[in-house]
Amino acid sequence: MTVPEVVVCRTGTANLASVLAALRRAGGVARTGRSADEILTATHVVLPGVGTFGAAMDTLRDTGTDDALKQRIDSGKPLLAICVGFQLLCRSSEESPGATGLGLIDDRVTRFPEEVRVPQFGWNSLAPDSGCRTLAAGHAYFANSYRLERAPRDWRAATSDHGGPFVAALERDTLVACQFHPELSGSWGAALIRRWLAMPC
């Protein structure tokens, strides 16, 4: 069995130690990278994110990895997007007015309503669509102030509730996008990472 070569894309805002450790525990050979060639040639790529939507997109554009990520997605190679990395797949975010995302999802990320705790810190349950292959029911660890309110067409989704339902995760072909942090979600998150690493590249 081929060991997955995982490149974790540097967005300039992420603490990558826990992501790298989780990937290695799951059986991947993981390292960070920020060049277009690294993003295009790795068997698996992780797009993480901690910080703001606009700052992360600025880093991707400055390094040319924004176009490389789009090419990778178009080619069907495995990609795992985490937290702000999930939000970067969208058109824009209320967090960073004027900033444009990768645009794979033609929708805007919005802030949770004021009547609930913001940020959402801690564990929350997920309810996946019946057709999900990588996403499973369980509890995951979240740390987010913004969310995608509805799933785009032609994607399978898992939903959670915090001041109303929101998209906790999406999957389409070999792309898995998690608003939560699978690397901080215990054995359930570790199992999700292993399923993603097992995807053909």
Confidence of residue 1 (pLDDT cuts 50, 70, 90): low
Burial class (CB in 10 A: 0-12, 13-18, 19+), 143: middle
What residues make up the domain containing 116? 5-197
| Whole-angstrom distance, CA of residue 169 vs CA of residue 135 | 8
| HSE-CB of 43 using CA atoms within 13 angstroms | 14
Phi, psi dihedral angles at 195 (to 5 degrees): -65, -40
| Whole-angstrom distance, CA of residue 61 vs CA of residue 63 | 5
Cα torsion 92, 93, 98, 102: sign: negative
Q: What is the pLDDT of residues 129-146, one digit of tens each?
A: 999 999 999 999 999 999
Residue 71 is predicted with a pLDDT of 96
Residue 151 is predicted with a pLDDT of 97
Q: What is the pLDDT of residues 170-195, one digit of tens each?
A: 999 999 999 999 999 999 999 999 99
| Whole-angstrom distance, CA of residue 77 vs CA of residue 90 | 19
**Number of domain units in the chain:** 1
Residue 157 is predicted with a pLDDT of 98
> What's the whole-number average pLDDT of the chain?
95
| Whole-angstrom distance, CA of residue 200 vs CA of residue 181 | 23
Report the CATH number at residue 28. Answer: 3.40.50.880
Range 80-101 average pLDDT = 97
Range 103-117 average pLDDT = 97
Q: Is the pLDDT of residue 13 over 80?
A: no
Q: Are strands 5-9 and 44-47 parallel, antiparallel or unpaired?
A: parallel
Residue 3 is predicted with a pLDDT of 80
Residue 104 is predicted with a pLDDT of 96
The residues that are catalytic are 83, 181, 183
